[in-house]
Amino acid sequence: MDQSIFKRIMNSVNVPLLLSAIALAAYGSVMVWSATRGMVGADALFKRHLTGLAVGLLPLAILWFLDYQKLKGWAGPLMVALSLLIISPRIPGLGGSAKGATSWLKIGSISLFQPSEPAKLIFIVVLAAVIAGYNGKIEAPRDVLRVAGYAGVPLALILLQPDLGTGLVFVVVALAMLLVGGLKPKWFGVFAIIAVLMVAAVVTLPILKTYQKDRLLVFVDPTRDPKGAGYNLAQSKIAIGSGGLTGKGLQNSTQSRLNFIPERHTDFIFSVVGEQLGFLGAVMLLGFYLALLISSLSIATSSRDLYGALIAAGLIGMWTFQILENAGMTMGMMPITGIPLPFMSYGGSFMITNLAGVGMLMSVWSRRYGT
């Protein structure tokens, strides 16, 4: 191979990002296989997980080789597509409910995918285009309102499902991008006041569903209703605590193998890691995540323009929040939500979205010199 071609190829690859994503996907596959043992249709579930992983390589490759700058001019159509994606599960005959939210697109009894997952990436692309247009200075009230409108419309549609977990992801992504995009500090203070008022309204008004209120009450008092609303958290803590330093080993756990941990291959996959691989296994997992986030941060700071940096910032915000929320909720440090663990939890739509995010970061990295 010609040396110049080889050099060009190597310059387009962010090795730490790629290796950390591969390590996480492999780690996740092992844990999903172990977590699903003993479940009805375990082999089929694992095959679906691997299928999602394989399919996710396609958008990763496409977005990697696509110049991310070309997405900038499609902010309007993408905003329409984003809104349609979010509301599609509410169309009669197409939507399916899960954990209290109408968030799945279904045909008959067949679940196709979860539209809110790709919607996260489209949201990042659209908001990055809007914020980049202000060249790092967002101060005038009308400019702030315009940006807030682009962020607020999809957020409102998500909350109508109602999908509080995904809504929180949208909020964190928007804040991360506004921080990089040059929003003046005083506006963050205004948003903080609005957030406090919204929380107060949610707590005092009949907005939350019963199961959502129960989750918040359990977070405040972990000992509350251990056989009911607090059951998930209690079993998760037992699983993680019983893993000790090195864990009980794959297939040797009790809480996960005997079905005490609910949603053990999705929302509570971190509990399975803690029980089966122990403290060291959990630390290794967090080490892979740290490598992923550091390499993503390196891509953000190396971007040739603000638009690329904003895309990277949105992905960093999305992954960071999902990691902290998912791991934290299994230990009682965060409220229980339906947020899965990136690259680890079972779910085709989720895995494809994460791999597509890696492709977007690779696109930003490979064009850092303007090529």
Q: Report CA torsion sign: 105, 311, 164, 231.
A: positive
Mean pLDDT of all residues in 130-158? 90
Mapping DSSP onto H, E and C, the string for the chain reads CCHHHHHHHHHCCCHHHHHHHHHHHHHHHHHHHHHHCCCCCHHHHHHHHHHHHHHHHHHHHHHHHCCHHHHHHHHHHHHHHHHHHHHHHHCCCCEEEECCEEEEEEECCEEEECCHHHHHHHHHHHHHHHHHCCCCCECCHHHHHHHHHHHHHHHHHHHCCCCHHHHHHHHHHHHHHHHHHCECHHHHHHHHHHHHHHHHHHHHCCCCCHHHHHHHHHHHCCCCCCCCCCHHHHHHHHHHHHCCCCCCCCCCCCCCCCCCCCCCCCCCHHHHHHHHHHHHHHHHHHHHHHHHHHHHHHHHHHCCCHHHHHHHHHHHHHHHHHHHHHHHHHCCCCCCCCCCCCCCCCCHHHHHHHHHHHHHHHHHHHCCCCC
Q: Can you give the pLDDT at residue 57? A: 95
Q: What is the pLDDT of residues 185-200, one digit of tens each?
A: 999 999 899 888 877 7
Tally the residues of the chain. Answer: 371
Burial class (CB in 10 A: 0-12, 13-18, 19+), 74: middle
Task: Round to whole Å and give the CA distance between 306 and 75.
Answer: 16
Q: Can you give the pLDDT at residue 156? A: 86
Q: What percent of the chain has pLDDT over 90?
A: 50
Does pLDDT of 228 surpass 90?
no
Q: Can you give the pLDDT at residue 108? A: 56
Residue that wins the pLDDT comparison between 363 and 235: 363
Residue 92 backbone zone (phi > 0: left; psi -120 to 50: alpha; other: beta): beta
Q: Can you give the pLDDT at residue 103? A: 64
Q: What is the pLDDT of residues 70-118, one digit of tens each?
A: 999 888 899 998 888 888 777 766 655 555 555 666 655 556 678 888 9
Task: Round to whole Å and give the CA distance between 89 and 98.
Answer: 11
Per DSSP bridges, beta strands 95-98 and 101-107 are antiparallel
Does pLDDT of 277 surpass 60?
yes
- Domain assignment present for 25: yes
Residue that wins the pLDDT comparison between 262 and 322: 322
Does pLDDT of 351 surpass 90?
yes
Q: Can you give the pLDDT at residue 206? A: 66
Q: Can you give the pLDDT at residue 142? A: 93
Structure tokens of 188?
């963050």
- Domain assignment present for 121: yes
pLDDT, averaged across the chain: 86
* Among 70, 20, 21, 126, residue whose Cα is nearest residue 367: 70
The vertex-158 CA angle with 147 and 77, nearest 5°, equals 55
pLDDT confidence bin for 296, thresholds 50/70/90: very high
Amino acid of residue 20? S
Q: Can you give the pLDDT at residue 136? A: 87
Q: What is the pLDDT of residues 305-314, one digit of tens each?
A: 999 999 999 9
Q: Can you give the pLDDT at residue 42? A: 86
Residue that wins the pLDDT comparison between 4 and 151: 151
Overall domain count for the chain: 1
Q: Can you give the pLDDT at residue 262? A: 81
Q: Can you give the pLDDT at residue 369? A: 80
Q: Can you give the pLDDT at residue 325? A: 94
Range of the domain at 262: 16-80+115-366
- Domain assignment present for 334: yes
- Domain assignment present for 52: yes
pLDDT confidence bin for 131, thresholds 50/70/90: very high
- Domain assignment present for 191: yes
- Domain assignment present for 41: yes
- Domain assignment present for 7: no
Does pLDDT of 25 surpass 90?
yes
- Domain assignment present for 181: yes
Residue that wins the pLDDT comparison between 209 and 152: 152
